Structure 1
Amino acid sequence: MRFKHIAHARALALSASALTLCLGAQAHAQEAAQEQAAEETGGISEIVVTAQKVAENVQDVPIAITALTAERLENAGTTSLEGLTQLVPSVTFRKGTTSANSAIVMRGVGTITFSVAAEPSVSTVVDGVVLSRSGQAFMDLVDAERLEVLRGPQGTLFGKNASAGLVNIVSKGGTDTLQAEGRAEWYEGDEYRLRASVSGPLADGLTARVTGFYGSYDGNITNIYGGKNEKINGYEHYGARGIIDYDNGGSKFRLIADYFKANDDCCADVTTVSRGTALDKELGLPGGVAQGLEQRYVNHNLVTQTKDRQWSLTASGDFDVFESHTLSVVAGYRNWKNEEIREGDFLPRALVGTDQLHDNGEVRTEQLSLEVRLASDQTKPFFYQVGAFAWGSNNQQDFTRSDVKCATSTLPVDPLTGAQPCNLNDTVNTIFPTATSFSDVKSRNYAVFGQATYRFSDLISLTGGLRYTWDDLSFTHTRAPGVNATDGLPATGAGINDNPAGGKISAGGNGTNTSRGSSNNGNLSGRAVLQITPSDDVMLYGSYTRGYKGPAFNVFFNHTAPTNAVPIDEETSDAFEIGLKSQFLDNRVQFNAAAFTVTYNGFQANNFVLLNGAVVSNLTNAGSVRSKGFEADLLTVPVDGLTLRASAAYADAKVLKFNPNPSTNAPDARNGTRLPLAPKFTWTLGGSYERDLGGFKVYLDSDFRHVGKQFSDLGESGPIAAYGIWNAGLGFSDAEDLYRLTFHVRNITDKSYALLNVSSGQRLQIPRDADRYFGVSLRAKIR
Structure 2
Amino acid sequence: MQNRLLSGATIAVMAFASLAPSVGAQEQESSQDDRRLNIVTITAQRVEQNLQVVPISVTAIDGDALDERQIDSFDQLQYIAPGLSFNAGLNARQSASTIRGIGTSLFNIGIEGSVAIAVDGVVLGREGAGILDFSDVERVEVLRGPQGTLFGKNASAGVISIVTKQPTDEFAAEFDASYGSFNETSVSAAISGPITDGVKGRLSGYNNTRDGYITNINPAAPQSDVNERNEFGVRGKLKFDSSDTFDLTLGADYSKRDQSAGALTLRSVSSPGPGTGLLGFGVQVIGPVSASVGIKPGPDNKQIASNGTFESEMESYGVYAEANKQFGDFDLVSLTSIREWKSFDNNDADLIPLPFLAVNNADLDQNQFSQEFRLVSPRDQALTYTVGAYYFHQEIDQTNTQSGTAGLNLLGALPPGLLLGTDLISTVEETNMALFGQAEYALTDKLTAIGGLRVLNSDISASLSRSITPGAVGPFAGQSITASPLTGDTDDTAVVWRLGLQYFINDDVNVFTTVSRGYKSAGIVSGLTINATQVGGTALPMVEPEVPVQIEAGIRAVSMDGRLVTNFTAFRSEIEDFQAQALVPGPSGTSIFSVTNAGSVETYGLEGDITLLPVDGFTLSTSFAYTHATFQDFPDAPCYALQTVGPNGCIDTNADGRGEFQNLNGKDLAQSPEWIINALARYDFALTQNLDAFVQVGAQYRGDAISSNTNDPNTVLDAYMLVDAQLGVKFWDGRGALSIFGRNLTDETFVEAIVGQAFDTGGYSQFQSFESEQSFGVKLSLDY
Query: What range describes the TM-score normalised by the shorter chain of this pair?
Result: 0.7 to 0.9
Q: Aligned residue for 2:609?
A: 633
Task: From 18, 28, 45, give the equivalent of 2:38.
Answer: 45
Two-structure CA RMSD over aligned residues (Å): 2.3
Task: From 330, 342, 346, give the equivalent of 1:325.
Answer: 330
Tell me the CA shift for residue 65 of structure 1: 1.1
Q: Deviations over 1:378-410 (max 9, x none)?
A: 11111111000000010010111111256557x
Conservation of the 8 A alpha-carbon contact between 1:254 and 1:317 = yes
Q: Does 1:316 align with 2:316?
A: no
Relative distance call for 1:37 and 1:734 in structure 2 (3 A) is: closer
Task: From 154, 167, 172, give the equivalent of 2:160.
Answer: 167
* SS of residue matched to 2:93: helix
Read off the aligned partner of 1:500 and give its amino acid letter.
I
Q: Aligned residue for 1:441?
A: 428
Distance, in Å, in 1 between the alignment partners of 2:407 and 2:102 is: 42
- What are the residue-to-residue correspondences of 1:167-566 with 2, within 5 Å? 167-226=160-219, 230-247=224-241, 248-275=243-270, 279-283=286-290, 289-290=296-297, 292-321=298-327, 323-350=328-355, 355-356=356-357, 358-405=359-406, 428-480=415-467, 482=468, 485-486=470-471, 489=473, 491-494=474-477, 496-497=478-479, 499-501=480-482, 512-562=483-533, 565-566=540-541
Conservation of the 8 A alpha-carbon contact between 1:274 and 1:289 = no
Tell me the CA shift for residue 161 of structure 1: 1.5
Q: Does 1:776 align with 2:778?
A: yes
Tell me the CA shift for residue 38 of structure 1: 6.4
Distance, in Å, in 1 between the alignment partners of 2:191 and 2:678 is: 35
Conservation of the 8 A alpha-carbon contact between 2:27 and 2:36 = no
Read off the aligned partner of 1:283 and give its amino acid letter.
S
Tell me the CA shift for residue 137 of structure 1: 1.1
Relative distance call for 1:356 and 1:34 in structure 2 (3 A) is: closer
Conservation of the 8 A alpha-carbon contact between 1:233 and 1:266 = yes
Distance, in Å, in 2 between the alignment partners of 1:369 and 1:572 is: 23
Read off the aligned partner of 1:154 and give its amino acid letter.
Q
* SS of residue matched to 2:710: coil
Read off the aligned partner of 2:578 and give its amino acid letter.
F
Tell me the CA shift for residue 47 of structure 1: 1.5
Conservation of the 8 A alpha-carbon contact between 1:191 and 1:218 = yes
Q: Does 1:600 align with 2:575?
A: yes
Conservation of the 8 A alpha-carbon contact between 1:344 and 1:358 = no
* SS of residue matched to 1:282: helix
Q: Deviations over 1:229-275 (max 9, x none)?
A: 81211110011110112234322321110000001211211002234
Tell me the CA shift for residue 53 of structure 1: 2.1
Q: Deviations over 1:521-563 (max 9, x none)?
A: 0001110110001111111000000000011011222212126
Q: Does 1:713 align with 2:708?
A: yes
Conservation of the 8 A alpha-carbon contact between 1:70 and 1:146 = yes
Question: How many pairs does the alignment contain?
Answer: 716
* SS of residue matched to 1:619: strand
Read off the aligned partner of 2:628 and give its amino acid letter.
D
* SS of residue matched to 1:157: coil
Relative distance call for 1:405 and 1:726 in structure 2 (3 A) is: closer
Relative distance call for 1:133 and 1:668 in structure 2 (3 A) is: farther
Conservation of the 8 A alpha-carbon contact between 1:658 and 1:667 = no
In the TM superposition, structure 1's runs of 4+ consecutive aligned residues that sit over 6 Å from their partners are 37-40, 662-665
Q: Does 1:745 align with 2:746?
A: no
Q: Deviations over 1:66-98 (max 9, x none)?
A: 111111111111112212211112001112110
Q: Does 1:660 align with 2:636?
A: yes
* SS of residue matched to 2:71: coil
Q: Does 1:758 align with 2:755?
A: yes
Q: Deviations over 1:119-146 (max 9, x none)?
A: 1111111101001101011111231111
Q: Does 1:587 align with 2:562?
A: yes
Distance, in Å, in 1 between the alignment partners of 2:120 and 2:309 is: 35
What is the TM-score with the length of structure 2 in the denominator?
0.88
* SS of residue matched to 1:716: coil
Read off the aligned partner of 1:299 and give its amino acid letter.
A
Q: Aligned residue for 1:506?
A: none
Q: Does 1:673 align with 2:667?
A: yes
Read off the aligned partner of 1:579 and give its amino acid letter.
G
Conservation of the 8 A alpha-carbon contact between 1:97 and 1:304 = no
Q: Aligned residue for 2:657?
A: none
Tell me the CA shift for residue 689 of structure 1: 1.7
Distance, in Å, in 1 between the alignment partners of 2:407 and 2:600 is: 44
Read off the aligned partner of 1:384 and give its amino acid letter.
Y
Distance, in Å, in 1 between the alignment partners of 2:359 and 2:95 is: 19
Conservation of the 8 A alpha-carbon contact between 2:638 and 2:662 = no
Determine what percentage of the aligned residue pairs are the same residue: 29
The unaligned stretches of length 5 or more in structure 2 are 1-21, 272-283, 640-651, 654-659, 757-761
Q: Aligned residue for 1:92?
A: 85
Distance, in Å, in 2 between the alignment partners of 1:208 and 1:34 is: 27
Tell me the CA shift for residue 344 of structure 1: 2.0
Tell me the CA shift for residue 303 of structure 1: 2.9
* SS of residue matched to 1:752: coil
Relative distance call for 1:715 and 1:250 in structure 2 (3 A) is: same
Q: Does 1:736 align with 2:738?
A: no
* SS of residue matched to 1:59: helix
Relative distance call for 1:629 and 1:384 in structure 2 (3 A) is: same
Q: Does 1:684 align with 2:678?
A: yes
Conservation of the 8 A alpha-carbon contact between 2:270 and 2:763 = no
Tell me the CA shift for residue 682 of structure 1: 1.3
Conservation of the 8 A alpha-carbon contact between 1:697 and 1:735 = no
What is the TM-score with the length of structure 1 in the denominator?
0.88
Distance, in Å, in 2 between the alignment partners of 1:158 and 1:464 is: 14
Read off the aligned partner of 1:762 and give its amino acid letter.
Y
* SS of residue matched to 2:255: strand
Deviates more, 1:237-246 or 1:761-770: 761-770
Distance, in Å, in 1 between the alignment partners of 2:763 and 2:679 is: 30
Task: From 64, 67, 77, give the equivalent of 2:70.
Answer: 77
Read off the aligned partner of 1:539 and give its amino acid letter.
N
Read off the aligned partner of 1:570 and give its amino acid letter.
P
Deviates more, 1:429-438 or 1:150-159: 429-438
Tell me the CA shift for residue 148 of structure 1: 1.0
* SS of residue matched to 2:155: coil
Higher fraction of helix: 1
Q: Aligned residue for 1:5?
A: none
